Amino acid sequence: MSTPTRSNRARATLCVAALTLALAACSDSPTQAELSPPRESSTPAAALEQNSSSAERMGVQAPPPAAPASAPSSAATSGGNGALKWELPAGWSELAPTSMRVANFRVGGDERAECYLTFLAGDGGGLAANIQRWRTQMGQGPLSTQEIAALPTKPMLGGEAVLVDFKGSFSGMGGGAKLADARLVGLLLVGPQGAAFLKMTGPSSTIDGQVDAFLALAASLRN
């Protein structure tokens, strides 16, 4: 009987090794992915559901609330969160969004002046109700149906949003201390799919020079 050659022994060794690896692969159980424990949210479930559905209806996604603020820019710059994008006006800065503010900005470097975009489910209470609510925040009486119908419109998110411009003492949503000699400029886009509100408030001395920037921001909002 002839002695196996060195090459035959090598081939036999490789075959045994390959067979061993194949058997090991068959016998190993699949690696199971480790799942992180669920995290609790401090935001009520109803609010989260409302925000999510309104954002979906308007065709954008709400950004994560941990987005950092950016420094004021000296020229208009591109910005955005999630599926929503915009051109940040010169001198403005981006602030971290909140559960209700899809986009959040500081206006002209003034800490008392802010601008933010909000989405609400359905018609958000209706055009007239939101206009009258903003009038109340500025210490002003309600507008008539004819006055609301005569308000101008400006482009925003692919539609024509109603433009309002009020002056007075601003008390904000929660009341509290009023800001005297304030100005509110806002755009309301209300439809059956959802409602979008872009609102800028602050001292008149700051807002007076930022209306064009506000309208440019509104026109730049896109998916």
b/e burial code for range 82-100 (CB count within 10 A of at least 16 → b): bebebbbbebbbbbebeeb
User: Domains of the chain (ranges plus CATH)?
Assistant: 45-59+79-220 (3.40.1000)
Q: What is the pLDDT of residues 171-208, one digit of tens each?
A: 977 666 789 999 999 999 998 889 999 999 999 999 99
Q: What is the pLDDT of residue 9?
A: 43
Residue 37, pLDDT score:
40
| Gap between the Cα atoms of 73 and 89, Å rounded | 8
Q: Is the pLDDT of residue 117 over 80?
A: yes
- Tens digits of residue pLDDT in 132-160: 999 999 999 999 999 999 999 999 999 99
- Give the model's pLDDT for residue 58: 56
DSSP assignment of 37-83: PP---SS-HHHHHHHHHHHHHHT--PPPTTPPP-PPPSS-EEEEETT
Instruction: State yes or no: pLDDT of 39 exceeds 90.
Output: no
Mean pLDDT score, 198-222: 98
